[in-house]
A and B are shown apart, each in its own frame.
Chain A
Amino acid sequence: DAKTTQPNSMESNEEEPVHLPCNHSTISGTDYIHWYRQLPSQGPEYVIHGLTSNVNNRMASLAIAEDRKSSTLILHRATLRDAAVYYCILSQAGTALIFGKGTTLSVSS
């Protein structure tokens, strides 16, 4: 499986935007980029996914570099509830998710 590299931890203030980076220099043309997050004491939950173009949904935006070797998850206004471990995962269609270490996001009021 193609690997991803994320910072171990990041900090943010409430109501400020957060940019979570992910490097995936060995990404293949058929790899999708997924983001999941895991809130404390819960199972992971889907955030967003994309292939080549930037994507927006009600939770976040995904910005994908033109060469697809990196991507950024953008939370537009962080809240305390966004404190979680964020996982950037590469997978091909029809394959199971393999989680990497993720980024622990702390949000301060």
Chain B
Amino acid sequence: DTEVTQTPKHLVMGMTNKKSLKCEQHMGHRAMYWYKQKAKKPPELMFVYSYEKLSINESVPSRFSPECPNSSLLNLHLHALQPEDSALYLCASSQETTSGIYEQFFGPGTRLTVL
């Protein structure tokens, strides 16, 4: 199984809502990532988890809160988002991040619209 799954596929939320994005992999990978992608732009790195610990936060606003409950799951909790946060949110995983070069496997993304 070389798949990264993301739920939901689409999400529409108001600026006062709280919602969560979920990402799951069963490849035994110990590194997981969140990227944000606006239309016609490249993916932008948001967070990196290595061995379930947050290792990189690319100065992301606190209205985005990542969580890695175990080595297979990665969540992104959303609260008080702005319309400009509307984007495709991509999750990825790789074997690890501490050394070596490992292929990153990406999920299909969650298309988020903030009204």
Contacts and interface: CB of A to CB of B under 8 A. Distances in A.
Interface of A: 32, 34, 36, 41-46, 49, 85, 87, 91, 93-102
Contacts of B109: 42-43
Contacts of A93: 99-101
Interface in B47-96: 48, 56, 90, 92, 96
Nearest to A89: B42
A42 B90 CA distance: 9
Contacts, number: 52
Interface residues of B, number: 24
B108 A42 contact: yes
Nearest to A51: B101
B75 to A, nearest CB: 17
A32 B48 contact: no
Interface of A is mostly: loop
Contacts of B104: 36, 44, 46, 97
Given A43-B109, A99-B43, 12 more contacts: A36-B104, A41-B108, A42-B109, A46-B105, A85-B42, A87-B42, A93-B99, A93-B101, A95-B97, A97-B45, A98-B45, A102-B42
Contacts of B92: 43-44
Given A32-B101, A43-B90, A102-B42, A96 B108 contact: no
B103 interface: yes
Nearest to A41: B108
Residue of A42, A45, A46, A94 most packed against chain B (CB within 10 A): A94
A94 B106 CA distance: 17
Nearest to B91: A43
Contact of B101 (A49, A85, A99, A101): A49
Contacts of B96: 94
